[in-house]
Amino acid sequence: MRRLVVGLLVVEAITHVAHLAAESHVDRSITGLGPADSGVGDGQNLRDWLYVEDHCRALDRILSQGEPGSTYCIGGRNEVANIDLVSMLCALMDELAPQHGVHLPVSPSRELIIYVSDRPGHDRRYAIDASKIEAELGWTPQVSVQEGLWRTVEWYLTHQGWWQPLLERGAH
């Protein structure tokens, strides 16, 4: 979870699906800058996913309509186990990569999934109660986790010139 303090407003947000970052395990899995890992442990850790444009819309709503001194929690209402998210990602890569002339090293890409050790004390579930921003400011997420993942994979496949140099430099 991330906390942002803007003036007298406090914003807390959950994990988001985004392009242009190349830092989340979603981004690293798409670009090959990292393995298609299950996130952590057995892959059953739950996360609430929020598409980056929904996050931006929420921040805009908070900045324009939020009550000074208030705290707003931004959540996607998209709780998904890490292994399910990675499985969706692999299915999208199998479907979309060939349409962009991208050769996948393994097919189906689900065979690339690895399980990594969970760190001690790691939270099994990240979730956030976004009812305040929904009730007070009328904001709700517009993009499902499935649609957000599709948009993200499509963006990376369409913009290979942006991230391909990172692979060539060996940036991991």
SS (H, E, C) the chain: CEEEEECCEEEEECCEECCCCCCCHHHHHHHCCCCCECCCCCCCCEEECEEHHHHHHHHHHHHHHCCCCCEEEECCCCEEEHHHHHHHHHHHHHHHCHHHCCCCCCCCHHHHCECCCCCCCCCCEECCCCHHHHHHHCCCCCCCHHHHHHHHHHHHHHCHHHHHHHHHHCCC
Q: What is the mean pLDDT of residues 138-165?
A: 89
Residue 164: inside a domain, yes or no?
no
Most confident of 26-30, 33-37, 108-112, 145-149: 145-149
Q: What is the residue range of 129's domain?
A: 2-159
Residue 138 in tokens:
């009328």
Res. 22: pLDDT tops 50? no
The domain spanning residue 32 has which CATH number?
3.40.50.720
Res. 116: pLDDT tops 60? yes
Q: Which amino acid is located at 18 in the chain? A: A
Between helices 160-169 and 145-158, what is the axis angle to 10°? 70
pLDDT digits 0-9 by tens, 82-115: 888 888 988 998 999 999 988 887 888 888 787 7
Instruction: Identify the weakest region by mean pLDDT among 27-31, 63-67, 107-111.
Output: 27-31
Residue 150: inside a domain, yes or no?
yes
pTM of the model: 0.75
Residue 53: inside a domain, yes or no?
yes
- Count of domains forming the chain: 1
Residue 39: inside a domain, yes or no?
yes
Q: What is the mean pLDDT of residues 28-49?
A: 65
Res. 20: pLDDT tops 50? no
From 71, 29, 77, select the one nearest 51 (Cα to Cα).
Answer: 77
How many angstroms separate the most distant Cα atoms in the chain? 52
Residue 167: inside a domain, yes or no?
no
Residue 148: inside a domain, yes or no?
yes
Q: Within 13 A of 70's CA, how many CA atoms are on the CB side?
A: 13
